[in-house]
Structure 1
């Protein structure tokens, strides 16, 4: 009879997410994962089969977190431009408050691994598409309210918002001042 697991797999995924987010996939060793999760190699591999499978779980967990944030964002009331501005400014604040300037795990995965890994590429595309879908709903609400011109393509504007978010994560890794990032936010909101 197999021995029951004496650890919480969800805790392991959360710990691994932090390790991958800080160091990336290639730079994260199995030893790094063992140290952070508190598991031995055999327990880690018996549960997740491979470092790559654990990485996939971490990317899915990250997506769960961002989707929960998007649900909260959709529940917000008020002008669409204000909701979008607040969303982007929150990203600026998170980036600047993070001493490691990790950015976005999904974006980091897309840049590091790119199209060379179908599973990771699919997970990152799904994460990006979910953000665009959320922004589209908010923009369409702004169009119905007359705040954003109704003849503008809501999908294209939503992708533009996502592009600004991407810029915040990338530029924010090395930005020395908040203004460099808030300029991105202000220019985007003014363009809607």
Structure 2
């Protein structure tokens, strides 16, 4: 009869995720993971299959958490969709310029992804697309409200905000300050202003 495991997999994945967030997949060592999780190397292999598999497990957890956070930030009905996006971007400028400049696993994986059809690239792409869906839902709401033109490319704009936010995260990790990140956040919103201006230009007042 096999002995029951004396650890929670969720705790191990969380601790390993912190290691990967700091070092990335390539640079993190098994010794780093052993120290963080408290498990021996053989136990890690037995439970998760290896370092790469553990990273993919942590990445999946990070993806769900990131999607949930953005959904909550953009899901408040007490402000217009564009106001929600603006508030969200400004809060990210504060968060990414904080003393803990560790990047998320999704962004780590995006940097380390080869673009080939391997599990890392597949999971990373799924995370990016999942985030884009959340932005797209808010932008679609803005279009329904008349805040964006009917022909606005909601999917392209959604991916644009994913790209801007991931870039802001990396800039914060490099030590870029809050003032610059705030300017980036505000300037990114000009894409939405441009959509509205273009729509007004196509329909000049009589």
Q: TM-score, normalised by structure 1?
A: 0.92
Question: 1: distance between equivalents of 2:29 and 2:6?
Answer: 23
* 1:116 CA drift (Å): 4.6
Q: Distance in 1 between matches of 2:128 and 2:17?
A: 18
Q: Deviations over 1:163-182 (max 9, x none)?
A: 21122112222244212111
**Structure 2 runs not aligned, ≥5 long:** 193-206
Check the 8 A contact 1:13/1:58 in 2, yes or no. Answer: yes
Structure showing greater radius of gyration is: 2
Runs of 4+ in 1 over 6 A off after TM superposition: none
Question: Alpha-carbon deviations, 1:112-164, whole Å to 9, x = none?
Answer: 23225611111111111111111111011111111222221111111221121
Residue range with higher mean Cα deviation, 102-111 or 43-52: 102-111
Q: Are the aligned partners of 2:90 and 2:186 in contact in 1 as well (CA < 8 Å)? A: no
RMSD: 1.6
Secondary structure of the 1:172 match is helix
TM-score, scaled relative to structure 2: 0.86
State the aligned residue count. 191
* Alpha-carbon distance in 2 for matches of 1:132, 1:53: 25
Q: Which residues of 2 match residues 1-192 of structure 1 at below 5 A? A: 1-77=1-77, 78-99=79-100, 101-116=101-116, 118-192=118-192
Q: Deviations over 1:15-38 (max 9, x none)?
A: 000000011111111111011001
